Amino acid sequence: MTAVLNLHLVPRVGAAALFLAACAAGNAGDAPGDRLTSSARPTTADPSAAGAPAPMAPPSMGAFGNSSAQPPTPPPDDGMTLEDACEVGERCGPQGPDPDDCGSLTLEAEVEVIENPGNVLLVFDRSSSMADDWSGSTRWETAGGAIDAALTPLADLLTVGSVFFPSSDPNATPVCVDPTGIACIFVPFLLVSPGTCGVNPITSVDQIDFEPGPAFLTSFGGAANTAPPYAPVPGGFTPLSEALQEAQLALDASALTGLTSVVIITDGEPNCEWDAAISRQIVTDWAAAGIRTYVVGLPGVQGNGTQVLNDLAMTGGTGQYISPDSATDLEMALRDIATETVQAGFDSCEIVIDPPAEVPDKLHLVVTEGGVDQEVARELSDDASWAITDDGSLVTLEGLLCDDAMGGRFEALRFEFGCVELPPLPPPKAPD
């Protein structure tokens, strides 16, 4: 799809405005080097002052950057020639008391912004300790409420699934809970309780396979008069390694499109047959595939558990694990994750300029990132650039710059003619 820059469009919600600034003719009364611009602001010269020329109206513009538009004829006997006039598309010198006044002609247009749906896989701890208190409620209830509140506003743009651990299914394969495996050799029947360490596939009845956001939230809430599926399993341990293996199988079997995030939520150190190497490799493979792993440690995480969760978060590309102090903190953290997963981007890397810019080499590209305007160099890096056709009718974003624009990195994008004094956009980082 090609985005069209059209001077007659009216901006709307969800659209990014493109602005173009142009420079016009010179002022007969200016000192050498000064120029009159096409700004709609009136000149600051006092027309009653002796020898002061009358203010000149800005010239009409036929086409954007129209080099055929002639400047007004200067008043006679002032010594100024047409060669002194500001070249269309060039930066004009200041006029009046404002040294930054270089004038601008703002032309509003529209570039369509699209939402890129995303996917979230929850790996949710429902060990028995999740029934412990957290600020007047249980950990599982607080966490479940935060998940519901965080995902609801973005539900229509999300596909969500959940792997709960351990399984509540009494037919789940039990696993010995002695990490050393020594005791399991001698008395496995004393150390194994069905359902305390086993983790079922995401397609099992006690899990939630990937569903559209609204359907997931309905399943997540549970049926009427029954406990939700994330309620703790009596006697349940914390088989995180087994849960990650089931999560990997779930992602491998899915046909998801768009950005995917994995969110681990737990309240303690993993046990059962915890395998740090296997778990780290799973998260490493996700990161290589562009899947970020977020780790949330609820109250109860301590000792070696802190190191384990930090290691998973760092391997997953999200820094240290999240440790919320309250339900509100947890909701905000989950909302941020969901928002990053659902990205808003431009619908095309080709932007038609209509009417075309007749001085293409004077056009500047400006993007807004994090609320800060930055100018984009034509050759931003070896793998990121933008170009405009010789006739000034089409701008194309290329390489990583295109990826960033369509992937939602920028909040807005615009073009300016002539007067641009903004910090440069840093070259984009190539994906790992």
pLDDT (tens place) for every residue of the chain, 432 residues total: 445 443 332 333 333 444 444 443 333 333 333 332 333 333 334 444 444 444 444 444 444 343 444 444 444 444 443 334 444 444 444 333 334 444 444 334 456 667 778 999 999 999 999 999 998 999 999 999 999 999 999 999 999 999 999 987 655 555 555 555 555 544 444 444 445 788 999 999 999 999 999 999 999 999 888 899 999 998 889 999 999 999 999 999 999 988 899 999 999 999 888 999 999 999 999 999 999 999 999 998 988 999 999 999 999 999 999 999 999 999 999 999 998 898 777 878 888 887 777 778 888 888 888 789 999 999 999 999 999 999 888 899 999 999 888 877 887 888 887 667 889 999 887 665
Instruction: Identify the pLDDT of residue 291.
Output: 95
What is the Cα 21 distance to its own chain's centre?
Answer: 28
Q: Count of CB atoms within 10 A of residue 154's CB?
A: 19
Give the E-state strand segments of 222-299 in sequence order.
260-266, 292-297
Instruction: Identify the pLDDT of residue 87.
Output: 45
Question: What is residue 41's DSSP assignment?
Answer: S
Q: Using an 8 Å Cβ cutoff, are 410 and 362 in contact? A: no
- Tally the C-alpha atoms within 13 A of residue 28's C-alpha that lie toward its C-beta: 18
- State the Cα angle at 39 between 34 and 43, rounded to 5°: 60
Give the E-state strand segments of 25-157 in sequence order.
111-116, 118-125, 133-134, 137-138
H helices present in 204-296, as ranges: 213-221, 240-253, 276-288
Q: What pTM did the predictor assign?
A: 0.59
Instruction: Identify the pLDDT of residue 396.
Output: 93
- State the Cα angle at 79 between 76 and 81, rounded to 5°: 85
In the chain, where the domains are located:
1-19+344-432, 22-105, 118-341
User: In whole angstroms, what is the distance from residue 80 CA to residue 32 CA?
Assistant: 9
Domain 118-341: give its CATH architecture.
Answer: 3-Layer(aba) Sandwich (3.40)
User: In whole angstroms, what is the distance from residue 109 CA to residue 119 CA?
Assistant: 32
Q: Using an 8 Å Cβ cutoff, are 220 and 208 in contact? A: yes
User: In whole angstroms, what is the distance from residue 68 CA to residue 36 CA?
Assistant: 17
Instruction: Identify the pLDDT of residue 194.
Output: 46
Instruction: Identify the pLDDT of residue 299.
Output: 93
Instruction: Identify the pLDDT of residue 181.
Output: 52
Burial code of 303-332, b = ≥16 C-beta within 10 A, e = fewer? eebeebbbbbbbbbbbeebbbbeebeebbe
Residue 357, both tokens: 């810019």
Give the E-state strand segments of 298-371 in sequence order.
343-346, 350-354, 363-369
Q: Position of tokens 């768009």? A: 258
H or E, element range at 165: strand 158-165
| Residue 155, SS3 per DSSP | helix
Which phi and psi angles does 430 have, rounded to 5°?
A: -65, 145
Phi and psi based region of residue 96 (left: phi greater than 0; alpha: psi -120 to 50; beta: remaining):
left
Give the E-state strand segments of 259-407 in sequence order.
260-266, 292-297, 343-346, 350-354, 363-369, 372-376, 379-381, 384-388, 394-399
Instruction: Identify the pLDDT of residue 338.
Output: 93
